[in-house]
Amino acid sequence: MHPEQTLQETAPWFRLLDPAQQARVLHDAQYARYPAGALIERKGERAHAWIGVLDGLIKVSVGSPDGKMASLTGVPSGGWIGEGSLLKHEERKYDVVALRDSHIARLPEATFNWLLDSSIPFNRYLLHQLNERVGQFIGKAEYDRLLAADARVARCLAELFNPMLYPGISMRLDITQEEIGYLARTSRQRTNQALRTLEDARLLRVEYGAVEVIDLEGLRRYGI
State pLDDT tens for residues 65-81: 665 666 778 899 889 99
Query: Candidates 3.30.2290.10, 1.10.10.10, 3.20.20.150, 3.40.190.10; correct CATH number of 147-221?
Result: 1.10.10.10
State pLDDT tens for residues 86-104: 999 989 988 999 999 999 9
Q: Which residue has the higher pLDDT, 168 or 186?
A: 186
pLDDT value at position 16?
95
Quick one: which of 146, 154, 143 has its CA closest to 202? 154
State pLDDT tens for residues 127-173: 998 888 877 776 666 666 556 888 889 988 888 888 778 876 778 88
| Per-residue CA distances from 199 to 33, 158, 164, 192, 219 (Å) | 34, 14, 25, 10, 11
User: What residues does each domain of the chain span?
Assistant: 3-129, 147-221
Q: Of 96-110, 130-144, 180-194, 204-218, which range is least confident?
A: 130-144
Maximum mean pLDDT: which of 14-23, 162-171, 179-188: 14-23
User: What homologous superfamily is domain 3-129 in, according to CATH?
Assistant: Jelly Rolls (2.60.120.10)
pLDDT value at position 140?
66
Mean pLDDT, the chain, rounded, equals: 88
Q: Of 35-49, 144-158, 191-205, which range is least confident?
A: 144-158
Between CA 139 and CA 102, with CA 184 as vertex, the angle to 5 degrees is: 105
Residue 138's SS3 state is helix
